[in-house]
Structure 1
Amino acid sequence: MIVNEQIKASEVQLTGIEGEDLGIVSRSEALALAKRHDVDLVCLSLMSSPPPCRLVSRSAAKQDMNARKRDEKRKEQPLKTKEIRLTPHIEEHDYETKLRQVEKLLETGHAVELTVRVQGKEGQQAKALLERLLADLKGRGAKETGIQVSGKGAAVKVVPTPSP
């Protein structure tokens, strides 16, 4: 964040404390105005000429900068994966409850690992159950991996679909 004397441009496009447009003024005039109102002159972008600057109270500028850092840090973190376990012989109301759980997790931005435990020759039932779940989740989530059927279970990882 470029503040006060760090701004090197000779003229700036100034916005007042209340958001009003003060037009293009010289850097020295903008700094004098900032001192008179006991606020900071903050440069919003260096990509244009003259650069847009704003009069902002010191605490508000710090809070804004900290909020941006927090958001960037949150976006950098990988998706957390939550596991939902099912059985091939699930009752309809239990299925609906699990479906709501998965939808809620996807809405909050978590990836979901759907796991079906099988015994014996229930592999095809487990795969059919996962395919039904994926069909019901269409629009909310997309499978990241294919349905993997092994000896003791079937699993698929679902990630949230980005909102338009």
Structure 2
Amino acid sequence: MNEQIRDKEVRLIGTNGEQLGIMSSREAYRLAQEAELDLVKIAPTAKPPVCKIIDYGKYRYELARKEKEAKKKQKTVEVKEVRLSPNIETNDLNTKMNAARKFISKGNKVKVTLRFRGREMAHVQNSRHILDDFAKELSDISTVEKAPKLEGRSMSMVLAEKR
């Protein structure tokens, strides 16, 4: 901004958004001083660069406000985890499914983890059906984003809300 603009020529935009044409950066800076405002480079990559005569403090405030407004509209998606064991009973599984259903309906993703301890590692393939059943039960509101995969002593999959 102001004296820091080193380009020979700039395309100048006035205070009300009107085009003032292409001129030297010194001339543009002089016009900005006469208006008691700042010369700010808006589009530095354009040929020639585009500068605007504006109140820099007000400009920064507006940018910050727009950024804050955009952040407000953003929705963060959390990944909630539901842990199961290979020898889980039907009612316990239903309770976990209801919890997962609640998480998904709120817009979060759910990571379903089946943890193997000790000798349970010998029957990993026999337990895969638990995750498949879990996904099938919740298929009305969710889709499998990441298929069941064995990672160390646990098998996990990720369910996300249906679009």
CA distance in 1 between counterparts of 2:78 and 2:97 reads 25
TM-score (structure 2 length as normaliser): 0.57
TM-score (structure 1 length as normaliser): 0.57
Structure 1 pair 38–116 and aligned structure 2 pair: CA distance change class (3 A):
farther
Q: CA deviation at 1:90?
A: 4.5
Structure 1 pair 97–157 and aligned structure 2 pair: CA distance change class (3 A):
closer
Q: CA deviation at 1:59?
A: 0.9
1:83 counterpart residue number: 80
1:25 counterpart residue number: 23
CA distance in 1 between counterparts of 2:99 and 2:80 reads 16
CA distance in 2 between counterparts of 1:155 and 1:7 reads 55
Counterpart secondary structure, 2:27: helix
1:126 counterpart residue number: 131
Between the two proteins, the alignment pairs up a number of residues equal to: 140
Counterpart secondary structure, 2:103: helix
Given that 1:4 and 1:42 are in contact with CA atoms closer than 8 Å, whether structure 2 keeps it comes out as yes
RMSD: 4.4
Counterpart secondary structure, 2:94: coil
1:5 aligned partner, one-letter code: E
2:108 aligned partner, one-letter code: L
1:59 counterpart residue number: 57
Is there any run of 5+ residues in structure 2 with no aligned partner, and where?
84-91, 121-125
Is there any run of 5+ residues in structure 1 with no aligned partner, and where?
107-111
2:88 counterpart residue number: none
Tell me whether 1:11 sits opposite 2:9 in the alignment: yes
2:103 aligned partner, one-letter code: K
- Per-residue CA deviation, residues 77-116 of structure 1 (Å, 9 max, x unaligned), is xx98532327632598666433212xx236xxxxx53346
Percent identical among aligned pairs is 21
2:104 counterpart residue number: 99
Given that 1:4 and 1:41 are in contact with CA atoms closer than 8 Å, whether structure 2 keeps it comes out as yes
